Homo-oligomer: A and B are copies of this chain.
Amino acid sequence: MLGNFTYCNPTKLYFGQNALDGLNEELPEYGKNVLLVYGGGSIKKNGIYDKVVAILKSNDKEIFEDAGVMPNPTVDKLNEGIARARAAKADLILAVGGGSVCDYAKAVSVSVHCHDDPWEKYFIRFEEPSCEIIPVGCVLTMVGTGSEMNGGSVITNHAQKQKIGHVFGEKVFPKFSILNPEYTFTLPKYQMVSGIYDIMSHILEQYFSGTDDNTSDYIMEGLLRSLIHSANIAVENPTNYEARSNIMWTATWALNTLVAKGKTTDWMVHMLGQAVAAHTDATHGMTLAAVSLPYYRYILPYGTAKFARYAVNVWGVDPHGKTEKQAADEGLARMETWMQKIGLVMNITELGANEAMLDGIVKSTHIMDGGYKILDATDIRAILQASL
């Protein structure tokens, strides 16, 4: 653990099959007007919507709806949500859905009482909110982003071909989040494995950075081993509660600020994946999966020792009689086999990208400086080319 840092994560989590009961404990803390935010309506089919509405009504809340949050929430939708929250005089924003819905709820929460343009203020200038923030609560129905216990919010601007994330401070974190692993059972397999890879990428983005000795790296190796183990079970049996609950819990701790404390981080895979998504609107986790191995193989020579450690401690590679490079390569080969086995998309072509788009994607890619190599446009193009 190097450097100075603060840690504070005040989000209260309710976890388990009875987690929704926590809503009855939380609602009395807030005013009457609740803006209920959700996505395409799957929560109406699986009964979660009815359960949430019943609890809101039994707590005498006035319900205002904001439906139709899309997988990559847009600036246009954000502006619509701000108007709805203002009209409702919302005292609480209750997000029911996956990371996109939670991300969107946070973006609305910091914009309702703010009179700047939210895209410019938060996603271009990366300012912290200077106005009143409406409290947010989440009922999670999809797992991966960690948005339920952090200040992250990713918004897409189609006109500018930009998908940008802002990690807000602890005042923007959800006040509470409700995590019932059973709510994730009905998710299609494509979404489930996409979420699993999003979790893995969150951990790897924080792991593959720095050369210091850091407790966080050991915690991350544990999280990765648990994730791989549970993913193998969940892919075969999506209603295995134990596996789905471990995946849900790992997702939260992969990106609630803990494992980044006292160390540097990378996030270049997210920058590449978000650029691909800005041009294809592909599912988030799949964009990360498709660019990961080309990226890691490209930077491996600059961080060989860490890749070898990853191979041994996460993938069980036996290092005896091997060079660091050989062990590291073997680790990535095992990772590749596993990614294919659980059904991840392994190239951006399958996500709708093509060679003609590459210049545009390169241009949309933000460059980070915490990884083992700071990329330039040529590097990025080479990685994307290898991802086709």
Query: Which residues of A pack against B, CB within 8 Å?
Result: 1-19, 22, 181, 212-215, 217-223, 225-226, 229-230, 241-243, 245-246, 248-250, 253, 258, 261-262
Contact B15 A1 (CB under 8 A): yes
Contact B218 A1 (CB under 8 A): no
In the complex where A215-B246, A246-B213, A249-B215 touch, is A5 in contact with B1 (Cβ < 8 A)?
Answer: no
Least distance between A316 CB and chain B CB atoms (Å): 10
In the bound assembly, the distance between CA atoms of A241 and B22 in angstroms comes to 42
In the bound assembly, the distance between CA atoms of A10 and B173 in angstroms comes to 12
Nearest B residue to A177, CB-CB: B7
In the bound assembly, the distance between CA atoms of A245 and B263 in angstroms comes to 12
In the complex where A7-B12, A8-B10, A16-B3 touch, is A245 in contact with B220 (Cβ < 8 A)?
Answer: no
In the bound assembly, the distance between CA atoms of A212 and B4 in angstroms comes to 37
Contact A242 B218 (CB under 8 A): no
Least distance between A128 CB and chain B CB atoms (Å): 16
Contact A249 B22 (CB under 8 A): no
In the bound assembly, the distance between CA atoms of A17 and B229 in angstroms comes to 38
Chain B contacts of A22 at CB under 8 A?
Answer: 6
Nearest B residue to A250, CB-CB: B215
Contact A12 B8 (CB under 8 A): yes
In the bound assembly, the distance between CA atoms of A10 and B149 in angstroms comes to 13
Partner of A262, one of B8, B18, B214, B249: B249
Contact A226 B218 (CB under 8 A): yes
Least distance between A26 CB and chain B CB atoms (Å): 11
Chain B contacts of A258 at CB under 8 A?
Answer: 253
In the bound assembly, the distance between CA atoms of A19 and B5 in angstroms comes to 8
Closest 9 CB pairs of A and B: A4-B16, A222-B222, A218-B222, A218-B226, A1-B245, A8-B12, A7-B13, A215-B226, A215-B246
Contact A13 B6 (CB under 8 A): yes
In the bound assembly, the distance between CA atoms of A15 and B215 in angstroms comes to 14
In the bound assembly, the distance between CA atoms of A213 and B249 in angstroms comes to 12
Contact A242 B2 (CB under 8 A): yes
In the bound assembly, the distance between CA atoms of A201 and B17 in angstroms comes to 31
Can you list 12 A-B pairs with a CB-CB distance of less than 8 A? A1-B245, A5-B16, A15-B261, A213-B230, A215-B222, A215-B246, A215-B249, A215-B253, A218-B222, A219-B222, A222-B223, A249-B262
Residue of A1, A4, A246, A249 most packed against chain B (CB within 10 A): A1
Contact A243 B213 (CB under 8 A): yes
Least distance between A243 CB and chain B CB atoms (Å): 7
In the bound assembly, the distance between CA atoms of A366 and B10 in angstroms comes to 34
In the bound assembly, the distance between CA atoms of A55 and B262 in angstroms comes to 25
Chain B contacts of A1 at CB under 8 A?
Answer: 15-16, 181, 242, 245-246, 248-249
Contact A213 B225 (CB under 8 A): no
Least distance between A184 CB and chain B CB atoms (Å): 13
In the bound assembly, the distance between CA atoms of A8 and B13 in angstroms comes to 6
